[in-house]
Amino acid sequence: MRHFFGLLIGALLTAALLFGAGWAAPELVRGAQILKVSPSGDGRMLIALGVVAAVGLLLGLVLVCRTSPLAAFVPSIVLLAWTVVYALDVPRALDLAPTATSLQAEVAQAGQGMVALLSTGVYGALGVALFLPVLMPSRWASPLRDEEDEFAEQSY
């Protein structure tokens, strides 16, 4: 059951890394370079900072907490596979991002942010960082039960 919940958390983290960070990256760049405003003066920049903080918190919890390794494995494989496709065939990798003008504006902006994060190598670095907890054997084993707890349960 722990691995099933880890799979669900991994799917949530993948969506957060792709769409959340993809939407927030161009929004923060827009505010910093084009408008030269402080985040407190622009509501969209505050929301983008909040999204980045939430994605970072979710990423940190998956890396640090003793969850199923599938919670880190699912997004790492997605990010690393997309980075490999980008390294081998750039047009095909860029076609995977939702950047069409017929889409909703926020989805297209998230797609443009995904392309920016992919082309700068951020997704590759995150994929490697998320893959490292998968290699730890202690993550795959179930938590050890204390012998006193077992004795207390048997005495009733």
Which residue numbers in the chain have pLDDT < 70?
34-41, 143-156
- What is the per-residue pLDDT for 46? 85
**Which pLDDT does position 96 carry in this prediction?**
85
Burial class (CB in 10 A: 0-12, 13-18, 19+), 14: middle
| pLDDT at residue 40, as a whole number | 66
Question: How high is the pLDDT of residue 92?
Answer: 92
pLDDT of residue 27: 85
Q: pLDDT value at position 48?
A: 87
CA separation for the pair 99, 68 (Å, rounded): 33
* Residues 105-121 as b or e (16 or more Cβ within 10 Å = b): eeebbbbbbbbbbbeee
Distance of alpha carbon 48 from alpha carbon 45, whole angstroms: 5
